[in-house]
Structure 1
Amino acid sequence: MNLSSSFPILSNYTYLNTAYSGILSTELAKWRTTHDQQLMEGGSEFRLSQSYLIETLRTNIADFFNAGISNVFLTPNFSFGFNTLLDGLPALEHFLLLQNEYPSLAYPVTSRGFKHSYVAIDENLEDNVMEAIEKCRPTVFAFSIVQYISGYRMNPEFIKKLKQTYPDLLLIADGTQFCGTTAFSFEASGLDALCTSGYKWLLAGYGNGFILLSDQLKNRLYEDRKLAQLPSAPFVKDKKPLAFCFEPGHLDTLNFGSLNESLNMIRKVGISTIAQTTQTLCQQARTQLHHRGFIPDYLADQKNASTIMSLPLNQQQVDQLAEAKILCSPRGTGTRISFHFYNTEDDLQKLLDVLDGKKI
């Protein structure tokens, strides 16, 4: 797919850095400019005319991710949604976490004093998780669907198996490195919560995200507030109790409107097309990089693999990538690359040529 007209940065860089930040399309930039122009000219009248946009987005998310509309809450980012969720859980919850997990997931759990246990990430991850559940008896398993350093993706069938085997165990997932890469049904996933930011694979810019909650989890949140009388002011009279927690105050139509526009763009391209394009390219990349010794066997052969890879590069190789205008990120002890639907085989070949020491 040649999308340089929609994403001008592709004309100047080989962009292998979506895992750090997605890129804005010219179409979205034009929409945002028009939005702010109309807000400048209309003030409160414009805001009143845009009140429908928030519920349009909520419906769009529910449909795109197959979730109930009443189970969708709009948040400015993953961290806000996840921290709000944690504040609504009883202090006696026992969390199971993965080692070397994304700090914005692990730290909010440990810093609140929740009892927690860890499980190692390796080629035996699924067995490790099952053993840890049997041994530690956690009440919550919180994890990133795609690990931000290695790119390891949790097997969707394993998540379903966990819920079927341990129906009382809450499964809370960070989808920030996952949502927008392939089709996903929240209702069928086995998850109790999916939290995400929109600025990576959803290409919606910063300041928007959402959290999807199962009915099971909704019933366990903020027990101490359920007897409190709700505000009676006319402009909040229809607001549900959990919305006062996850959606306090006014919601920004620029940022959430950007997410709505990006979801519409992804629909236009086709999420199945995106998944097929990226998986084909990523499989080629994994094969070539594994052949060169950059990727371990268990990640090279993983089914349901992600679009992220981590390469153990030396400083000279990192400098050569920068000189060739290939954008990627240092993460952990390696250099992280990632492919989205706007990347091409030419991008992969350029990466390989630099790693092979060829002059670009």
Structure 2
Amino acid sequence: MDHTGRARLSQAQSQFSPGNTYLNTATHGLIPHTARLALERNTREVATGGFSPGAVDSVVDAARSAYARLVGVTADRVAVGTHTSQFVGTVAASLPPGSEVLLAEGEFTSIAFPLLTRLEHGVRVREVPLDRLPEEVGPTTTLVAVAAVQSATGEIAPIEELRTACADHGARLLLDTSQSAGWLSTPLDGVDYIVCSTYKWLLGPRGGAFLTGTAEALAQLSPLAPGWFAGADPWDSLYGGPLRLAEGTRRLDLAPVWPAWIGLAPALDLLNEVGVATINEHDAALADRFRNAMGLAETGSAIVSLPAPEGTAERLAEAGISAAIRDGRLRVGFHLYNTEEDVEHLVKALSETG
């Protein structure tokens, strides 16, 4: 990492005040001080009658633009919502009977469940091992849906191979970047749909999500549950007909949970200031440092999964370490606010619990 990158990272780290060794970003990221102050101001306004919902429109627009900058798309191709499953459900509803969908085995259910509900509508869903997904794409495949980084294991999906396989067979590709956006530079060119929750590596409060993708694929989606915020003029779309949706991707917007976006906008600005490449170098180095200490092969993923003897989570909590158990294994994640001292603390605690 060059001097400029280290300086930006150091400045960003001063925006966080973890009360423990926090290694649970894959569950929920820490919010920076700028976001906390914005949320506290919003809470005071709501409590005292000074809150103006219309004033949040510009905050949502700012967050939309900041996310577009972060992932390298234009803001007019970004829809906002609250949960990734809503947007996956929108894609699922566009699938005609006879469609074949490929999922990775053990995929997070916010991806899997909306697609599995289409079984009763004549859609076929096959679950195959993650590393075999590209070779399983064939002429009957309509959609491949997969997390760019697997929630349970931290395994990085073979995105380049999937893009090629889908292009070769005329299938669409849906990526969930909830466990990768903010630390992994994912090539999104040619990816039809990208969904992302904002409360993990994007460091926002829970209650925000994004949908983007290619202009051609987005244009073929119909809003699944449009409300006033999807209107051409949201504040003139509160009552009655006729249907008057916005043009373009914004017709897919879902009404925002206002505090989520008030907290998210400054967090996205912080990530853009540091840069995903710098964050990736930092996060992956810490995770691989931990893997080396535990005798595991380096993978470059910020998420590490390893066997967890019974009681591991409780003993780590007693040592002041926040982590998670997923699928019967210990899961830890390293983000921009983590340090080498955090790695050493974790390794020491695990050696004492073993």
* Structure 2 length-normalised TM: 0.83
- Deviation (angstroms), 1:119: 1.1
Q: Which of residues 63, 80, 83 in structure 1 aligns to 2:86?
A: 80
CA distance in 2 between partners of 1:223 and 1:205 (Å): 25
- The structure-2 alpha-carbon separation of the partners of 1:115 and 1:267, relative to structure 1 and needing over 3 Å to count, comes to same
Verify: 1:183 aligned to 2:188, yes or no: no
- The structure-2 alpha-carbon separation of the partners of 1:199 and 1:281, relative to structure 1 and needing over 3 Å to count, comes to same
Verify: 1:58 aligned to 2:64, yes or no: yes
Verify: 1:7 aligned to 2:16, yes or no: yes
Aligned to 1:235: 236
- Deviation (angstroms), 1:70: 2.3
Aligned to 2:3: none
What's the Cα RMSD here?
2.9
- The structure-2 alpha-carbon separation of the partners of 1:241 and 1:276, relative to structure 1 and needing over 3 Å to count, comes to closer
Task: String of CA shifts for 1:148-203, please: whole Å, max 9, x gaps.
Answer: 1111001343244334433x2100011111111133453x2x31111011000001
Asked if the contact 1:66/1:184 (under 8 Å) is kept, the reply is no
Structure 1 residues not aligned, in runs of 5+: none
Aligned pairs for 1:1-150 within 5 A: 6-9=15-18, 12-39=19-46, 46-113=52-119, 114-121=123-130, 125=131, 128-134=132-138, 137-150=140-153
Taking only the aligned residue pairs, the percentage that are identical comes to 24
- The structure-2 alpha-carbon separation of the partners of 1:327 and 1:223, relative to structure 1 and needing over 3 Å to count, comes to closer
CA distance in 2 between partners of 1:200 and 1:214 (Å): 24
Aligned to 1:344: 339
Aligned pairs for 1:208-357 within 5 A: 208-222=208-222, 235-236=236-237, 239-240=246-247, 243-244=250-251, 246-248=252-254, 250-289=255-294, 291=295, 295=296, 300-302=297-299, 305-357=300-352
Asked if the contact 1:75/1:209 (under 8 Å) is kept, the reply is yes
Moved over 4 A (4+): 1-5, 39-44, 230-234
Determine helix, strand or coil for the equivalent of 1:153. Answer: coil
The count of corresponding residues between Structure 1 and Structure 2 is 331
Partner amino acid, structure 2, of 1:86: A
CA distance in 1 between partners of 2:117 and 2:98 (Å): 14
Determine helix, strand or coil for the equivalent of 1:357. Answer: helix
CA distance in 2 between partners of 1:105 and 1:94 (Å): 15
